[in-house]
Amino acid sequence: MNLVADVRPTEYEASAVSPAKIRINDLRKEFRAKAGKAFVALDGISVDIDAGTFFVIVGPSGCGKTTLLRILGGLEAPSSGSAVIRQSQPDKPLNSMVFQGDSIFPWMTVWDNAAYGLTLRNVPKGEIRDIVGHYLERTHLTKFAHAYPHQLSGGMRQRVSIARAFANDPEVLLMDEPFSALDEQNKTILQQELLRIWEEHKKTVLFITHSVDEAVTLGDKIMVMTAHPGRAKAVIDVPFARPRSVLELRSTPEYGELVYRIWGYLREEVQQARAEADGEK
Amino acid sequence: MTTIQRMQWRVRVAQSWSLTLRRLTTIQPAKRDRLIGLLSPFVLMLLWEWAARAGLIDIRFFPAPSQIFGTFVKMAEDGTLWANTWASLQRLFWGALLGGIPALVLGVAMGLFRPLRAAIDPLVALTYPIPKSAILPLILLIFGLGEASKIVMVAIGVFYPICINATAGVLEINKIYLDVGRNFRATRWQTFRTVALPGALPFIMSGLKLGVGMGLILIAIAEMIGAKSGLGFMIWNAWEILAVEMMYIGLIMVALIGYLFNMLLTELEQVLIPWKADK
Ligand SMILES: Nc1ncnc2c1ncn2[C@@H]1O[C@H](COP(=O)(O)OP(=O)(O)OP(=O)(O)O)[C@@H](O)[C@H]1O
Ligand SMILES: [Mg+2]
């Protein structure tokens, strides 16, 4: 049985029939380094992501994953090329980010944090109550609705961040290593919860991680990135059926095979990234 | 007593002392500190009273507390004390409002917008070191001897600490919160209201405390010149008619107002910044 459906090269042509939800075309991002020299964070990235896809990007630390997400989130401008999200519902926000690290406002209660996007858009009060109530329930935070972030654990704060992004009802969700700071147990639980919430509407998700396990558990497609400068090394289909149970999936041999295969792509990149880091010392 | 007995006795005395001390320290540190804090001014007053009665200090300059209290009762009964206190409080209030609100808006805006900061920062840095009391003649010239000049003086004193702290407070906000605002498409006003203002609030509150202290200093000075009411006027008037007790009462009232405001603002801080309250 061939589990890995196809491995596509970097120059991968999108089907012209249905336009992609996210289209990244020859994207390049440079930062100005100290000595006036340009530091290339991303180079020649082209990928199309279809609507409803749970798309995961894996890559070694510092390969430009966050930079790519920030460009899509409108927080950074590309140096050349483009990264666009196709808008299909003009009354909805294009994207919402779940940031790497703590990003919920310490000065707002859990409820106000989750309601942030809707409040900014002046959504009617009753509607906000329903939507926020729903997502707090899905993230098991109903009891903590009126607590402040400093009264929560790290895992709970990350749940608030996820509830905030989902409640905003964007066309695309951009998630930047939302679970990387959590312990193994919390991580597994939150991955399962995320899958369950995502199944409700199957929005397009761009999910970043440096955990291969997490990528295979969650994704429909996985893009492996090269270490500096960040390029797309391969895009791999994940054939596992949905809805998925995290623990059951992980006990299958097919899961292990795919993880091993992706590690194959990643290994040399991680080694290169580490060699570079050592070289800087 | 043999030498040994004497030594034993000494040890026993030392032990009983340390026991008493230990009892004092075990009652609960917080409670004990508050007790000491309440007692120490009281003890000082008693000492002062005793020294004044015993003729150890010149009562022309340092009248006994009981004497001051007598004058206090008289002034409280005929209403002059309250009228003057009220006059100062009103000027302090309007001055704090007049200086505080623009300082808040400008300070936060400076924290948010770099060009604005570049433009205003040198002006603030250049005018801040001028002793505020030295501007009084100019203010009197411009605003006359009426209420306006006093209120403006307070406003100037309140303005600087709040403006400087608000800017610093916004710059201290973790960049990620501003990114969240941008990603959620917050307008400028929404960013101001939901991110910059609450994020900088802890700094702004300490600025407000400093500002009120500064305002109190300036109102006392401003009222000494060309005012017919207020605590500053009362103190100055006491000098002119050589009523030393009245002078002390004026000083005590100013101290009390400062103390109370500080307490009030600390309370307000707890209410306005609940996310910092119980850490
Ligand atoms: N504002 C910036 N100015 C200069 N260099 C930057 C800036 N932002 C990122 N970089 C550099 O670009 C590279 C990619 O950064 P990025 O944060 O995208 O990596 P990442 O893949 O998200 O890493 P991690 O997995 O550790 O989060 C890094 O080498 C980083 O130093
Ligand atoms: Mg990152």
Residue of B nearest to A98 (CA): B180
Cβ atoms < 10 Å from Cβ of B94: 17
Identify the residue whose C-alpha is closest to ligand 1 atom 18.
A64
Enumerate domains of chain B plus CATH numbers.
91-227+256-277 (1.10.3720.10)
Question: A280 Cβ partners below 8 Å, 6+ apart?
Answer: none
pLDDT in tens, A111-168: 999 999 999 999 999 999 999 999 999 888 999 999 999 999 888 999 999 999 999 9
The C-alpha of B237 sits at a distance from chain A's nearest C-alpha, in angstroms, of 49
Q: What is the DSSP string of B143-181?
A: H-SSHHHHHHHHHHHHHHHHHHHHHHHHHHS-HHHHHHH
Task: Give residue B1's pLDDT band: very low, low, confident or very high (50, 70, 90).
Answer: low
What are the residue ranges spanned by the domains of chain A?
1-94+173-281, 100-169
Is the distance from CB of B164 to CB of B200 less than 8 angstroms? no
Is the CB of A74 less than 8 angstroms away from the CB of B182? Answer: yes
Superfamily grouping for domain A1-94+173-281: P-loop containing nucleotide triphosphate hydrolases (3.40.50.300)
pLDDT tens for B135-181 read 999 999 999 888 899 999 999 999 999 999 999 999 999 999 999 99
Q: What is the pLDDT of residues A35-89, one digit of tens each?
A: 778 888 888 889 999 988 999 999 888 888 999 999 999 999 999 988 888 888 8
Looking at all shown ligands, the one closest to residue A67's CA atom is: 1
Q: What is the pLDDT of residue A2?
A: 40
Q: How confident is the model at residue A8 (pLDDT cuts 50, 70, 90)?
A: very low
Query: Which residue is it, tokens 């941008």?
Result: B182
Please tell me the distance from the alpha carbon of residue A96 to that of residue B186, in angstroms, as a whole number.
Answer: 12
B12 touching A (Cβ < 8 Å): no
Cα B36 to Cα B17: distance, rounded to the nearest angstrom: 19
pTM of structure:
0.81
Which of A42, A63, A225 most suits a substitution to test ligand 1, by most atoms within 8 Å of the C-beta?
A: A63
Residue type, B196: A
Report the separation in Å between the CA atom of A60 and the middle of ligand 1, taken as the mean of its atom positions.
Answer: 11
Number of Cβ pairs < 8 A linking chain A and chain B: 55
Instruction: Tell me how far the alpha carbon of residue A149 lies from the centroid of ligand 1, in angstroms.
Output: 27
Over residues A127-139, the pLDDT tens digits come to: 999 999 999 998 8
Min distance A174 CA to chain B CA atoms (Å):
10
* Residue A146 to residue A165: CA distance in whole angstroms: 18
> Are A120 and B190 inside 8 Å of each other by CB?
yes
In this structure, are residues A168 and A135 in contact, taking their beta carbons and an 8 Å threshold?
A: no
Q: With 80 as the cut, is the pLDDT of residue B28 above it?
A: no
Q: Are A251 and A217 in contact (CB under 8 A)?
A: no
Cα–ligand 1 centroid distance for A245 (angstroms): 33
Q: Is B173 on the interface with A (CB under 8 A)?
A: no
Q: Which two tokens stand for residue B9?
A: 């006795």
Q: Are B200 and B172 in contact (CB under 8 A)?
A: yes
Which of B160, B165, B163, B158 minimizes the C-alpha distance to B92? B158
The whole-angstrom separation of Cα B107 and Cα B166 is 5
